[in-house]
Amino acid sequence: MVRYYIIVEGRVQDVGFRYFCQMNATNLNLTGWVRNMDNGMVEMEVQGDEKILLKFISIISKGNYFIRIDSVSKKEINLVPSETKFKIK
């Protein structure tokens, strides 16, 4: 079990990206949160099995018709054991 702090840059605000992340995280049984940043990027913390987390990052990195990802940066952070779902902040 690992937890990543992730920052995503690109066309990720006003295109449904946070809901896209929530849907995929929920489908993969990951926990955490996602929110917009004032600089136009999106930040999130995601927790779960490392193999599944890497699959999640791969999925969101591809985006969709509206979403364009320019870069994804991640770093491992401390686990939050009491967390039970993935939410939009």
Find the catalytic residue in 18, 35, 39, 68: 18
11: its two tokens: 């066309």
Q: How far apart are CA 84 and CA 18, in angstroms?
A: 18
- Tokens 């930040």 correspond to what residue? 43
Is 18 a residue of the active site? yes
Say which amino acid occupies 6.
I
Is 36 a residue of the active site? yes
Find the catalytic residue in 36, 64, 68, 78: 36
**Which of 39, 28, 18, 33 is CA-nearest to residue 83?**
33
* Residues carrying an active site annotation: 18, 36
